[in-house]
Amino acid sequence: MKAVIINAPHEVSVEDVPAPEAGPGEVVIKVGVAGICGTDIHILDGEFPLTTYPIIPGHEFGGEVVQVGENVVGVAVGDRVGVDPTLNCGACYFCQRGQGNLCERWNGVGVGSHPGGFAECVAVPARTVYHLPEGMSYAEAALIEPISCVVRGFHRLQPQVGETYLIYGAGPMGLLNAQIARYNGASLVALIDINESRLQKAKDAFGFDVVGTSLDAVREHAPRGFDNVIEATGVTKVAEIAIDAVIRRGKLLLFGVCPPGERAAYDAFKIYNEEITVLGTMAVLNSYGPAVDILSAGAVDSAAMVTHTLPIGQFGEAIDLFRSGAGMKIQIDPSA
């Protein structure tokens, strides 16, 4: 079968490799569509500490079950499914306390050591698969994982209906956060990005009218600050300045993946004096199922989110397109 292989940082190719077999407790999925994510770029550039090479990347995908291993219940050949890529050990201190996203042996399909979805077929533990609702396409199924990360962020944030939001970053993750904020009863959702074409897209395709290239451009809409500020750029400097936008008693959620080791400096007095909460959110925890449900219920405009679908042979071009910042979600069709 055809698969994308990253042999080492900066060394990517599409190769013919043996198709996987379903071991005990596993199923093999024929991948329908797999989405490219910023994490894939970090893996490609050798900037994701948890990856072991060589790896078949791809952790956002859906497809059809084509093989079922021994001791699998609840999944059958022909089922249409999405995959929660989290592979936590189930036995460590954090797993035993229900915090599998913080597992001491954390691994993920397509991001750690387990082969991922930029391939014609992939084998995954049966416990990671979720059945797709009738009528949900594979292009939509590939959006469930990024949405599940946003749902995890909202579980951390615990916002109230009627609150205001400011989101730094109008890329795919910023716009997913923005749409779920709106779905969650926001009274205002503002977006900041330095890429004007992304702000235009946020307006034209998603109806977010309060946008700008800096806090000054949107400040008048929430002069005292925003209840919920979500950092979705992964730039440490942005994570630092984002606190300036938070209202008294408000929250800052660090959603973007900043480079490890970089420090953001905060005014400790401001956090104390204004009762500000700073929160982290890590990947997916009990949020894949809710993501299936809210996507199915219409929380996200999936047609506007997916701007490009390329065959697996053009993976390199798809990565270049992603890096250029053109378009929104870029997806790969492994069978094309």
Can you give the binding site for Zn ion, defined by CB under 5 A? Answer: 37, 39, 88-89, 92, 95, 103
Q: Which of 43, 319, 302 is nearest to 175 (CA)?
A: 302
CB of 144 to Zn ion, least distance (A): 11
66 vs 92, which CB is nearer to Zn ion? 92
β partners of residue 30: 64, 121
94 vs 266, which CB is nearer to Zn ion? 94
CB of 182 to Zn ion, least distance (A): 21
CB of 268 to Zn ion, least distance (A): 33
CB of 45 to Zn ion, least distance (A): 15
Q: What is the number of helices (H) and of strands (E) in the chain? A: 11, 17
Mark out the alpha helices in the chain (DSSP H runs). Answer: 38-44, 93-96, 138-157, 172-183, 196-204, 215-218, 236-241, 268-273, 288-296, 302-305, 315-324
39 vs 228, which CB is nearer to Zn ion? 39
Q: Which of 89, 115, 103, 112 is nearest to 34 (CA)?
A: 115
Chain-centre distance for alpha carbon 8: 23
106 vs 165, which CB is nearer to Zn ion? 106
CB of 38 to Zn ion, least distance (A): 7
75 vs 330, which CB is nearer to Zn ion? 330
Task: Give whole-number Cα distances, 72 to 23, 26, 126, in Å.
Answer: 10, 7, 6
